[in-house]
Structure 1
Amino acid sequence: MKSISIFVALFVFSLSVVPTSNAQTRKKTETVNILLLVSDDHSAPFLSCYGYQDIKTPNIDRLASEGLLFKNAFTTAPQCVLSRAALMTGRSTLDIRMTRFSAPLPADAVSFPELLRKAGYYTGICGRNFHLNGNRGVKESADVYDEYGLETFAKRVDFLKVNAVRDSIFGQYSTFLDRVPKGKSFFLQVGYSDPHRIFDAKEFEPDPTKITLPQTWPDTKLVREDFAAYLGEIQRLDAEVGRILDDLKRRGLDKNTIVVFIGDNGGALLRGKGTLYRAGLNVPLIIRYPEHIASAQINSSIVSGEDLAPTLLEVAGLPRGKDMTGVSLVPAFRDNKFEPHQYVYAVRGAHGSGLPTNTAHFDLGRTIFDKQFKLVYNAMWQLPYYPVDFGSQPFWLDLTQQHVEGKLSKEADRLFFSERRSMFELFDTQNDPDETRNLSGDPAFKDIEHRLKAKLQEWMILNEDYVPLPIPPQPAQAAPPVAAAGAKP
């Protein structure tokens, strides 16, 4: 009888020490709100907190000074639809079948706001179009969406408002917070149009003659004026971010709200948006989480847009989605040496809703990179580069004319006006951060190139990619001739 009592006591004790989940260990009185601020077409490093000192962004800098800045955050595509799909789901752009620009997010691809909502969060999306309900600009497409119920986001969140007018965005944000039920935590994504073209922030533009151009760009008057207009959009964006941060503090929500600022993809700039080069994929990512992230932290690890969803779910005390391929960045909140990835991947798919008349509308490419080397696979290598969103801008037309007249430098001609691209480009990003010296085919880098191709091949196979694999089958060797009967060996 005594032994039975001991057994029962031990059994009860064992139940008391079973490990619990993050959600179970959170204090019941603790509420964690999530505010996600998304800029549009925003390449790093064009913020003063990222080291670009020709503009002033005090409000976004404030976020960075009070939190964690990721220097090497990369989106999963250099295009908004493809990239935002991965941000929302924590999954590869290929895995969720979102490589066509005008595609709505499939109903079976679960977004992280849905998981937050299921756990009791009040959830919303407002501001700039979030780009994941397809494109109703084509009537025939809209008819299909209606017939098959393909526009799903009104069912995924509690609050959905889309209007890109600046004052309207702040109004939508305010309306959402006013509607949050008492006692509930909230998630809200606020999307901005800045610094997406058209550039119209005239009163915020810096002096074009006093700004620093990226080293690879031709230095012309029109290039400077266009870039100054882009920087003006960022300075205007900063003012709007400050407006929300101040209101969050006024409402007494700043201490229990994690604020994330991220760009959806790179800017519509030379070798930026629509390309797999750094300016197309590297975006600002800043996270402020009072009492959980020390002030003024900088992380240099390579991180992916896929990592956002599992990070915010862990912050909320929830498990990651079962199909998510991203890695939670929460360990980086305390450990600057945390390395979530050995390799990061990105894709370039069809862009816009037009016919594939050039590489702005239709290009297919893949990239893989680690902390030092990057491989770009241009599947449509025969087609020359054509810019996304600025092919008709005066500065580009002027550069095109200079190219025709032979007035551009050989380097500018090579970077922007080559008749054909290389199928493979290999860059040593530590020694060539501008990604201009192609090492593909160099015997000294043969093993590195093959390693990256093999890892890219693996990723493409696992993601059921439709683009031809980077390592093709070897040609079959001809069989040795059959000796004629009676012939000597």
Structure 2
Amino acid sequence: MKNTKQANPPRQNGLFRGGLKALYRTLTVVAVLFSASAASAEETHSPNILWIIAEDMSPDLACYGNKVVTTPNIDSLAAKGMRFSNVFTTAPACSPSRTALATGVYQTTLDAHHMRYSSELRSNLPKAVKVLPELMRENGYYTGNIKGICGTGTGKDDWQFNVPGKSWDTHSWKELSKRQPFFAQINSSQSHRGFSSTKNIAKEKIKIPPYYPDHPVSRHDWAGYYNEINKFDRQVGDILKRLETEDLAKNTIVCVFADHGRPMIRGKNWLYDSGTQIPLVIYFPEGMKKPKAYQAGKTNTELLSAIDLVAETVLMAGGKIPAWMQGRSFLRKNSKPRNYIHTAVDRIGNVDTCSRAIRSDRFKYIRNFKTPGSINECTTAYRRASHSIYHLLNIMEDKNLLTPAQAQLLKPLADEELYDLVNDPYETVNLIGNKDLESIHNKLKEQMAEWIEFSKDKGLEKESAAIVEHFREYGKTTMKSRAKSIQKRRLSVEKYFE
């Protein structure tokens, strides 16, 4: 706008001065309205950010090499976006993992590391720590954990701490889409048990990991899981179409990932890659300004923790990563790659575990601070009622039909485990005691000890009597309530051996 003020204005009579003042007032109003309009336009250029979260899903997608599933929508998003091949959650179970995703801080640092606290035993967040929706609001975003959209949207949080004040602004997509820029998550329970069908899955093509019996029970279980992944992909496709229909696609960054690994014995609840490795696909629309390290159509192979997505999301919104946050950026010019991934698991319902793992690009070291029994024995009542492979392993052990790798799931946990992930991707050969790897063992052990101290790991502190009693009672109650379901599941597997 040109400056209407003259350097040497002529003298004016009263009438002219009044008219000029009115003109100035009009121009001032127009300028203010124009400024507000420009600010509003600038706000709409801030990208919307959408997380689509699967439950209990490893990188078992076609774009990650799986030849049994059919996932064209996520595959297409990966082809035009960016796929990440080495992403790991901080925990192999939903509530501790989601606790970290809510804050960008390890659940063990927050004293929120167990799964299924009673409400009165949950800790408060440290004063400095804020949940991600609050951080996004501070950056001008409207936030939502959406329920009931495109056949999905559970509104699940499952945070294991007391929520400080307001979390999300809305659970309604209709309300969210009117308030831009927005940050939202849509949670799908599709790949969580129970599995509804094995339809359209070629069971004979399923590659069963060597630690499971290659048996019709195993193939049926995996087929059910894969079919749920196919359904999740269709949900993702419907959500993407919704963005297009509502003219939101061109200004919405989409992130598709999972809360932890697959819902199988030795997967979920355990620190092997099958329990902690997840898919991650990020898509920036064409024409949108992108971070330096984002490369459309490429695959990123760096080690990433899921909490790094929390930090990166703050940066996507134009904010700064808080000093207290343990997640770090990975798409920026100055992003610092990780040398190690740290994961942890503590009490899972009635199972009293405490293990920590450190993973490099080749080796993984696991320290089991508690060894309550075998992997198969450390199965919650819920899982005994829903996992046929749990019963299959027990029955086949009784009949002496298991291979050494399968039988290992029924032997007591070792205090320490070390795996060469290149030569042994299924983590079946424990290399503790191998003299050629002694220096690697010691190095990883040392790095783990440093991390435990640096991160102020609350899971290694003495538990209160209230915590011990709560989980003991939880175990008794759930075992009693699921006794009939457990027996029914056992009988369904026994039929194969009659």
**TM value normalised by structure 1:** 0.77
Contact between 1:90 and 1:326, CA under 8 Å: does it hold in 2? yes
Write the deviation string for residues 204-263 of structure 1: whole angstroms up to 9, x where unpaired.
x51323322234321000100011000011001111110000110111111211100111
Residue 360 of structure 2 is aligned to residue 351 of structure 1 = no
- Per-residue CA distance 1:171-209 (angstroms, 9 max, x = gap): x43x2444x33xx30011100102001111455x51323
Q: Does 1:405 align with 2:399?
A: yes
Distance 1:81 1:440 in 2: 31
**In structure 2, what residue type is equivalent to 1:79?**
A
Bigger share in helix:
2
**Which residue does 1:316 correspond to in 2?**
317
Secondary structure in structure 2 of the residue aligned to 1:56: coil
1:330 partner amino acid? L
Q: Distance in 2 between matches of 1:287 and 1:248?
A: 15
Q: Is the 8 A contact 1:133 1:152 kept in 2?
A: no
2:4 aligned partner: none
Aligned position for 1:342: 339
Query: Could you tell me which residue of structure 1 aligns to residue 58 of structure 2?
Result: 43
Q: AA paired with 1:408?
A: L
Q: Which residue of 1 aligns with 2:46?
A: 31
Separation of aligned partners in 2, 1:403 and 1:49: 36
Cα displacement (A) at 1:299: 0.9
1:372 maps to what in 2?
A: 362
Q: In structure 2, how many angstroms separate the alpha carbons of the residues matched to 1:84 and 1:467?
A: 17
1:197 corresponds to which residue?
193
Partner of 1:186: 182
Tell me if the contact between 1:201 and 1:236 (Cα under 8 Å) persists in the aligned partners: no
Alignment partner for residue 214 of structure 2, among 219, 235, 240? 219
How many Å separate the matches in 1 of 2:263 and 2:219? 14
Percent identity (aligned): 31
What is the RMSD of the two structures over their aligned residues, measured on CA atoms?
2.4
CA contact (8 A) 2:155 2:186 kept: no
Amino acid at match of 1:210: K
Answer yes or no: is the 8 Å Cα contact 2:416–2:432 preserved in 1.
yes
Aligned match of 1:82: 96
Offset of 1:339 from its aligned partner? 5.8
Which ranges in structure 2 are unaligned for 5 or more consecutive residues? 1-38, 147-152, 462-498
Q: Counterparts in 2 of 1:52-451, with a 5 A limit? A: 52-103=66-117, 106-107=124-125, 108=127, 109-126=129-146, 127-133=153-159, 150-152=162-164, 155-160=166-171, 172-173=172-173, 175-178=174-177, 180-181=178-179, 184-203=180-199, 205-291=200-286, 292=290, 293-331=294-332, 340-352=337-349, 356=350, 361-385=351-375, 386-387=378-379, 389-392=382-385, 393-414=387-408, 416-418=409-411, 420-451=412-443
Determine the C-alpha separation between the residues in 1 that align with 2:265 and 2:232. 21
- Please give the per-residue CA displacement for 1:356-412, whole angstroms capped at 9, x wherever unaligned: 3xxxx2211000111111101111125211345532333321221111121111221
Q: Secondary structure of 2:124's match?
A: coil
Residue type of the partner of 2:410? F
2:468 maps to none
Structure 1: distance between partners of 2:313 and 2:123:
20
SS of equivalent to 2:224 = helix
- Indicate if the aligned counterparts of 1:301 and 1:339 stay in contact, CA closer than 8 A: no
For the residues of structure 1 that align with 2:326 and 2:79, how far apart are their CA atoms?
A: 30
Q: Secondary structure at the match of 1:340?
A: coil
Amino acid at match of 1:381: T
8 Å CA contact retained: 1:70, 1:285: yes
The amino acid of 1:410's aligned partner reads P
Q: What one-letter code is carried by the residue in structure 2 that aligns with 1:275?
A: W
How many residues matched? Answer: 400
Structure 2 counterpart of 1:452: 444
Find the aligned partners of 1:42 and 1:176 in 2 and give their Cα distance. 29
Q: Secondary structure at the match of 1:189?
A: strand
Contact 2:62–2:69, Cα closer than 8 Å, also in 1 = yes
Work out the CA distance in 1 between the residues paired with 2:196 and 2:164. 32
Deviation at 1:425, TM superposition (A): 0.5
3-state SS, counterpart of residue 383 of structure 1: coil
- Supply the distance in 1 between the matched residues of 2:341 and 2:354 (Cα, whole angstroms): 18
Specify whether residues 111 and 441 from structure 1 end up closer, same or farther in structure 2 by C-alpha distance, changes over 3 A only. Answer: same
CA distance in 2, matches of 1:131, 1:460: 26
Specify the code of the residue in structure 2 equivalent to 1:390.
R
Closer/same/farther in 2, CA of residues 309 and 467 from structure 1, 3 Å limit? closer
1:383–1:421 Cα contact (<8 Å) kept: yes
TM-score (norm 2): 0.76
SS in 2 for 1:49: helix
CA contact (8 A) 2:145 2:186 kept: yes
